[in-house]
A and B are shown apart, each in its own frame.
Chain A
């Protein structure tokens, strides 16, 4: 084998830029899970009775369930009694009312992450709900949004101020019984974001949540719920990072989206959880359930994800296409390097007439990374005239990584049209050399080729995040080449 291929094989660890730890006093419960812990969480959050009941039902259901083993990933057993289920920065009495009351250390963390909240407030365009471990620290832009009747706040606040909405919609798209991790999340979730767009309102800015896991041994179990009423439009962005730690941390989130008649929800994720080191030590277990219900006629739900982090990723953002003419989209870039494993994809469930879905999945494997695409397209009997187009591409860097595709197609209506295309390619030494010969270093050549390959997905991201995603991909592939 020649050096060029060696170079590709030997992508090594680049420093994980976001791996610092913030030293703040925390208010945490002891590790372990039982009904008392759940009651304690609920009490700390001063939750209404219905929510505690819901949590307990979820917990009891969870006890009857088994962790799924079907994903194409390998990891040591998780001891659920070792996890801390609640951790929050300690606050003196009342919670922060505005940014000036937020612990400066936390604000500094966000600055390091590149999202200065002060800056954010001034810069038009992005409203940030920042989740630091289990509580939402600050939500910017709230005032401006509330003038339009838009509710954008932490989940805990929504529980306090809009319990009727929470009661109505919580679990309506992803019931706690859905799977092992949704049951766990439903029992112990501590915070997250809530977003409600009233009838006919077009949200004037990108809404954004920035998640960060700080405390050691903390599981982050956030819940996001977005409800778009008739004729409303919203674009939401979620970004994630976590400090470097040697042990694995569990992240089991639930995201529910609900789009009513003519509503449009665009949900973009740039996920950069700590992937573990070059030897595969540490890193986040990212076991997430994301589902959208396109309930209304002509409604549309679009998922875009750029996944470069986590030791193990297990997620399938899905759309249930219930409303006539509703549209579901899934655009994904998933990168696995070193010992990262990803089993990700989507589900498009066509129920209504003339429903349409598009799937574009771009998997990138480098190092010893293992990347699986798992996608389900189901056309139910009722879905007359349903259409799906799926394109699943895999790109390999080096010869120690792997790409796998598991497409499942179930069509129960003869008028449906389902198309599936797949390809696997490898960045060749000859392509890299061609770039070298034109003056480009190998690293830039790899980035250029990878970015070219992902273009279709990046195009779906809001402009500033597309640039971010591109950089992230570059950093994630950075290493020893050349």
Chain B
């Protein structure tokens, strides 16, 4: 489904991604971990087409097509979704309205009829239940005045409505209390199907207790320096990153 080959990117003249290789097949869940500033969010941003990042090398195929050639909105319509680490507020634009516009734009690109208000509300009600999201929240402006946790929940709610093929969750667990974490994780799990995939960026093993990854990757200094199964996350929780980092530095001083 997703194939990243030797991807390199820079921002403001600084090289951030220095050759990323990653393959994600349908039905898989990949976790990406790594110290602060290692390039996790940058990778996510590059995949969804944020223009501040300049691609300096490599390629990305999504369902066999050149993902990097598409505009940000085209990638979204093709089924790539990012739950943002820091969702922005859009004052004056109602949450429900926003989501209906987005969904219908995506449906249009797939040759589907737009959902009318009645059908859309029904869909919303159904998805709202899973995420224990209140109706009053959705009648407010997008993320405006939402608490940190509410913003994160809203991201996953949008994911539930838009039903992407590839969802990238950037630290969706940060800012959530224990109960909310469970709710959100269950919400994410419910969306998992054999024909879609998830990339979960996180610092904490805790999340991976609920969203169980098939693969765990450690991103350090713009490269994936170690990959493993879900046990790798447990090991990281115990030992931190130092042992991996020192191994890397010895192998290839930077």
Contacts and interface: CB of A to CB of B under 8 A. Distances in A.
Interface in A377-435: 425, 428-431, 433-435
Interface residues of B, number: 33
Interface stretch (A179-187, A263-271, A440-448): A440-448
Contact of A438 (B91, B92, B141, B158): B158
B162 A439 contact: yes
A2 interface: yes
A149 interface: no
A437 B82 contact: yes
Given A428-B88, A452-B90, A453-B92, A437 B48 contact: yes
B84 A448 contact: no
Contacts of A439: 73, 76-77, 102-103, 105-106, 109, 162
Contacts of B51: 2-4, 433
A449 B72 contact: no
A440 B101 contact: yes
Nearest to B108: A439
B50 A433 contact: yes
A436 B71 contact: yes
A264 B88 CA distance: 42
Contacts of B90: 431, 434-435, 449, 452
A455 interface: yes
Contacts of B89: 431
Interface in A77-131: none
Contacts of A71: none
Interface centre among B71, B89, B98 (most CB of A within 10 A): B98
A448 B101 contact: yes
Nearest to B73: A436
B52 interface: yes
Interface string A440-466: 111010001101110100000000000
B93 interface: yes
A482 interface: yes
Contacts of B142: 434
B228 interface: no
Interface in B89-122: 89-94, 98-99, 101-103, 105-106, 109
B49 A434 contact: no
A265 B195 CA distance: 61
B87 interface: yes
Given A4-B51, A433-B72, A438 B88 contact: no
Q: How large is the interface on A (under 10, 10 to 19, 20 to 34, 35 or more residues)?
A: 20 to 34
A422 to B, nearest CB: 15
Contact of A453 (B91, B105, B158, B162): B91
Interface in B159-185: 162
Given A2-B52, A430-B88, A452-B90, A438 B71 contact: no
Contact of A434 (B77, B88, B92): B88
Contacts of B71: 436, 482
Interface centre among B49, B50, B81 (most CB of A within 10 A): B50
Contacts of B91: 425, 452-453
Contact of B98 (A4, A428, A448): A448
A444 to B, nearest CB: 7
B75 to A, nearest CB: 8
Interface in A13-69: none
Contacts of A429: 52
B98 A438 contact: yes
A186 to B, nearest CB: 41
A449 B92 CA distance: 7
A179 to B, nearest CB: 36
B93 A452 contact: yes
Contacts of B82: 437
Interface string A300-339: 0000000000000000000000000000000000000000
A434 B141 CA distance: 14
A452 B92 contact: yes
Given A434-B88, A436-B73, A449 B93 contact: yes
A346 to B, nearest CB: 22
A454 to B, nearest CB: 8
17 contacts: A4-B51, A428-B88, A430-B88, A433-B50, A433-B51, A434-B84, A436-B71, A436-B72, A437-B73, A438-B99, A438-B162, A444-B105, A448-B93, A448-B101, A449-B92, A449-B93, A455-B92
Closest 6 CB pairs of A and B: A452-B92, A3-B51, A436-B72, A438-B102, A2-B52, A439-B76
Interface of B: 48-52, 71-73, 76-77, 81-82, 84, 87-94, 98-99, 101-103, 105-106, 109, 141-142, 158, 162
Given A2-B51, A435-B98, 9 more contacts: A3-B51, A428-B88, A436-B76, A437-B49, A437-B76, A438-B102, A441-B73, A444-B105, A482-B71
